[in-house]
Structure 1
Amino acid sequence: MGPEVRVGLSVERSLEWVVAVLGVVKAGGAYVPLEGSNPAERLRWMKREAGVAVVVGREELVEEVAESADVVVSLDADAALIGRQPKSNPPLRGDGRSLAYVMYTSGSTGTPKGVGVPQKAVARLVKGATYARFSAEEVWLQLAPVGFDASTLEVWGALLNGAKLVVYPAKELALEEVAATLKAHQVTSLWLTAALFEQMQAYQPEALAGVKQVLAGGDVLPVQRVKERLRAGGTLINGYGPTENTTFTTTWRMQKESDVGERGAPIGRPVEGTEVYVLDEGLRPVAVGVPGELYAGGEGLARGYVGKPELTAERFVPSPFGEGERLYRTGDVVRWRDDGALEFLGRRDGQVKVRGYRIELGEVEEGLKQQAGVKEAVAVVRQERGDKRLVGYVVGEVEGTAVKEGMRRRLPEYLVPTVVVVLEALPLTANGKVDRRELP
């Protein structure tokens, strides 16, 4: 082990997960979450793509991932050997530029992208930050999946500040059980996706009211639920940021209803160590109120996409405002408000957010097209009763249920459409493109 060595962690959310993450980083290496919720074929691809040198995990999970040539540390079979290791703190290896982790996000070309994040980017997120309270008195709940970059905030926000970290068991979230956990452990700091915040505020408001600071995001926050939280006297922080800029790029703290704004909660102002720019297509700053693309720079930037130099060069571009600096093109369309806060307007491409997960519709469509019998395919997001659903449309001699099952063998559940509709033909516009507005 040492700097830049990548360790695949096939460990569910647990105490062992936290210990493994801490051990890998202390040894100077970088952890690569290999979640068991992903199909085995996808996990093995991610492991090879990331250049994983060692696989660590529970035996039953490692079996899904490991191949014959892999170096494997089994937390079960090797428990006695692990127990005989010294308990002294290891010597410092690596520095802030060393890779801390590689996390995979959905990719528009049909394969996921591994985002490589250095240690200094993690430190910038939780050390010396003022957008939220980070102190030894806080009690954080790790609720996010281990392969979701919100776990960076939860784990390191606690450990690097001497706070308590409560780890929610590795099972499906149940609102009643989350509420009971918040009360039993007197959790003070909590991150929720926009969808989960809406559910908790609607059905477990009393438990949520007991949490001093709630951070939420990953999608547009529901205004009604935001105001309910604020009327109850709680603080709510809207957090915005892509994985490529280490969890948060901007935040907006709300403590009273007037903080919400006429158009809903803004995404706010940049966090410490971050610069943001709203630029036109010529990389020129736009005026207040004028829509433009959001570019982010500073200490939170990832190195880029592991093993994808061309894509890295496309998305991480030289900054026109500082020599040698880089900016990440988020693809998000925003505008400045008069008060200096940013307002989110939408996307420039086919990326969407469903229940907090970042989804490239291109990857879903590629997964649909790879199913036997499918000739054409398109994916869209539908809004029903305040909930977003991923819907697939295919043309071919197939059954929708069979297509879904085939996708489950290749893709994680969040990329599998809730329903697959079989059509005789896809509706087209006059210029021959799929007319998504005419899909049933």
Structure 2
Amino acid sequence: STGTPKGVAVEHRQAVAFLSGIDRQFPLTEDDVIVLKSSFSFDASIWQLFWWMIPGASMYLLPPGWEKDPALMTEAFVNEGVTTAHFIPAMANSFIDQVEMETDEKRTSLAKTLKRVFAGGEALAPQTAARFARSLPETAVIHGYGPTEATVDAAFYRYDREKDRERMRLPIGKPVPGARLYILDREKAVQPIGVAGELYIAGAGVARGYLNRPELTKERFLDDPFYRGERMYQTGDLARWLPDGTVEWLGRTDGQVKIRGYRIEPGEVEAALRQIGGVREAAVIARTEGEETELYAYIEG
């Protein structure tokens, strides 16, 4: 938000725990091919870099810049036999736009190879998942949720064409093996099914903390009241348990927004704008039109 990078200290054991968990939930075989197309600064690159090693599968490195060109991606997926890919929802829409323009032969070839698509970084709209299901009906669409503070993803939900047809928002699913999700009130008491509360993440994936920010680490990484000697991460997300045992994300407890996978604090952007000469006041909001979210700044001179 401000040009000053922030870091989360994720230890090797937490990454290994996550990779073991995702492979238990979505087991790969030696015939699978994972495409690496995320920046190394994006936490999803962890599983793109290393998950394939567990079952002895393969990884395909998408050439630099191709991740921004859906036509090149589609061609590469078919030629290299990519079975597993990750998209932020904004790029997922562009990818499906391209798939819908391809020939029947190309779509058939893609449908034969692409087994699963993970979508994360921001909420996946049901309309986007439905478009995937129509264009590539044999491809599993998996909605992932999790902050870097809990090592990539803490929960997954597999889209169901029939069950999710009328949903306003997709659940974030159930915890990845090794993770625990709590929905608590302000007193840290467990909320019952259907009642909103703040979402906390515990288990093997909870990171060490924020790099060189001990006060913020102390504020957000708390003692787990249910497992002595362990910690939990306070996400700042509102959520509730659904009767089927999945979790539904409801929004934020603060003003943080996510745009194309990036966390943005509007208050930080406002503070940076106020430092510009001639700017007396600033207000920053996120606006969504269609399937695209953009940041708008309003200034007073």
- TM-score normalised by L of structure 1: 0.62
1:288 to 189, 193, 201: 193
Q: Which residue of 2 aligns with 1:365?
A: 270
Q: Which residue of 2 aligns with 1:221?
A: 124
SS in 2 for 1:313: helix
RMSD: 1.9
Q: Rg larger in 1 or in 2? A: 1
Q: Percent identity?
A: 39
Alpha-carbon distance between aligned partners in 2 of 1:117 and 1:393, rounded to the nearest angstrom: 37
Q: In the alignment, is residue 153 of structure 1 matched against residue 153 of structure 2?
A: no
Counterpart AA for 1:116? A
Aligned ranges 1:184-333 → 2 under 5 Å: 184-205=79-100, 206=107, 209=111, 210-231=113-134, 232-259=137-164, 262-333=167-238
Change (3 A) 1:164 1:228: same
> How far off is 1:139 after superposition?
0.5
2:255 to 342, 350, 355: 350
> How far off is 1:384 after superposition?
1.9
Q: Which residue of 2 aligns with 1:392?
A: 297
> How far off is 1:158 after superposition?
2.1
Alpha-carbon distance between aligned partners in 2 of 1:349 and 1:342, rounded to the nearest angstrom: 20
Counterpart AA for 1:388? T
Query: Stretches of 4+ moved more than 3 A in 1?
Result: 207-210
Alpha-carbon distance between aligned partners in 2 of 1:203 and 1:381, rounded to the nearest angstrom: 27
Change (3 A) 1:202 1:131: farther
Q: Which residue of 2 aligns with 1:176?
A: 71
Alpha-carbon distance between aligned partners in 2 of 1:391 and 1:131, rounded to the nearest angstrom: 39
Which protein, 1 or 2, shows the higher relative CO under an 8 Å CA cutoff with sep ≥ 6? 2
Change (3 A) 1:319 1:208: farther
> How far off is 1:353 after superposition?
0.8
> How far off is 1:298 after superposition?
0.7
Alpha-carbon distance between aligned partners in 1 of 2:248 and 2:270, rounded to the nearest angstrom: 30
Contact map agreement 2:181 2:201 (CA 8 A) in 1: yes
Alpha-carbon distance between aligned partners in 2 of 1:394 and 1:228, rounded to the nearest angstrom: 38
Alpha-carbon distance between aligned partners in 2 of 1:123 and 1:355, rounded to the nearest angstrom: 26
Counterpart AA for 1:214? V
- TM-score normalised by L of structure 2: 0.90
Alpha-carbon distance between aligned partners in 2 of 1:208 and 1:217, rounded to the nearest angstrom: 21
Alpha-carbon distance between aligned partners in 2 of 1:366 and 1:181, rounded to the nearest angstrom: 43
Q: In the alignment, is residue 165 of structure 1 matched against residue 31 of structure 2?
A: no
- Alignment deviations for residues 352-381 of structure 1 (CA, whole Å, 9 cap, x no partner): 111121212223223322323222222111
Q: Which residue of 1 aligns with 2:103?
A: none
Change (3 A) 1:124 1:261: farther
Counterpart AA for 1:350? G
Counterpart AA for 2:75? A
Contact map agreement 1:140 1:165 (CA 8 A) in 2: yes
> How far off is 1:275 after superposition?
0.8
1:117 to 10, 17, 30: 10
SS in 1 for 2:280: strand
Deviates more, 1:362-371 or 1:329-338: 362-371
Alpha-carbon distance between aligned partners in 1 of 2:31 and 2:19, rounded to the nearest angstrom: 15
Change (3 A) 1:261 1:118: farther
Contact map agreement 2:89 2:128 (CA 8 A) in 1: no
